[in-house]
Amino acid sequence: MTTSWGIDLVKRISWGFITLKCPEGVCYGTLAVHRMCFSLSLWHIILGVLTLGVDDSRHTRAVVQNGLWIFKFVGWIALAVLAFVIPNGFFEFYSKYVAMGGAGVFLLVQLVLLVDFAYNLAEACIGRWEDTERPLWRNILVGGTCAMYLVFAIMTVADFVYFARDGCGRNQFFITANMLACILVSAIAVHPRVQEANLKSGLAQAGMVTAYATYLVTSALAGSPESSDSVPECNPLARAASARATMAVVGAFFTIGAICYSTTNAAVKSNTLIMSSGNSAYSALATDDPNEVPLTNSQMRQSALREAVANGSLPESALTDYDSDSSSQDDEKHGVQYNYTFFHVIFSMASMYAAMLLTNWNSISSTDHIIIIGRSTTAVWVKVVTSWLCIALYMWTLVGPVVLPDREWV
């Protein structure tokens, strides 16, 4: 949908008998991509509103999230069709302000998840090592950390060799700034005061953040558009056909992977992000809400067990054993596993982010027959700034407990 390639292909296949006259922005081009992604984003917003306040899978509106698949598919198709009759002026405003803002928020969510993933992975390896006392987990932790810093060193050297030629001051600044920031954050991660305030800090997390930030800078430099004849060639990969094909495949792979990981994890972890932690796993099932379905026999039995445990008639293990026996049948008997509305908000912003990526942040041209994700000046700056934010966010998790020791850090 980014170019007229499909329309031209139909014309060639039919030997010119079938000619589709469709203006740019309606059937192809930047605005056409935004039309499709807008319909998906709007549909998720509608579903989020319909599931607002649903905190139990027995709620009458929970079926909107867990069922009605045919109706939801038909509803999205209807919105997609209606999106193509909306005037271009609306999507010019939407693409420049709404979609770009939503994509920016989704990028921040990605960075938070990345830092969280780095901490969780290191803690998992350390926990397995301490529990099993097997050297395998120690070797995985140490080897993985060394591998991350090796990747950082290789990509940094490659960046200086290929993209930091004489006259390429911007590229030299990007590479040098990233290298110094990565070295600085690694040194802070092992500082005694930081490790005293944050027992989870270490080179394992710093290595993952460093490798990812360096990858973003390398990807930005490799995706720089072609230079004019009067400017030194700062991206020798721009005119290589094999490099363009490789970048298209690799860019699509990382894009799809990042979006899938970010959307699913951000949505599932919504309980940690936005819900109160005071909700007990053994809260009462009975409620006076008229919108909820009456309790079944199994749920009534569970409620009776809870009352018995609360009165001291039965040990708590009786309720735990009951939960273990029935957990395979219902994993939401104590409430929903994630916030349904937040789930759809995340997917709505992911649709905006996908639109920005597919249009190279609103910079594709109708004359391009091959669109490489990330090849534009705007995309270069987005990736570089994202790498800076990634390092800054991780650095705050290190110095935050030192600066604000009275605050609880999770």
Q: Is the CB of residue 386 less than 8 Å from the CB of residue 216?
A: yes
Is 250 a residue whose pLDDT tops 70? no
Q: How far apart are CA 63 and CA 65, in angstroms?
A: 5
Per-residue pLDDT of 69-93, as tens digits, reads 899 999 999 998 888 888 888 888 8
105 CB-contact burial (10 Å; exposed 0-12 / middle 13-18 / buried 19+): middle
DSSP β-bridge partners for residue 24: 28
Q: What is the pTM of this model?
A: 0.69
- Determine the average pLDDT of the residues in 155-159: 93
Q: Is the CB of residue 141 less than 8 Å from the CB of residue 127?
A: no
pLDDT band at 130 (very low <50, low <70, confident <90, very high): confident
pLDDT band at 225 (very low <50, low <70, confident <90, very high): confident
Instruction: Give the side-chain half-sphere CA count within 13 A for 123.
Output: 10
Instruction: Give the pLDDT confidence score for residue 332 in this predicted structure.
Output: 55
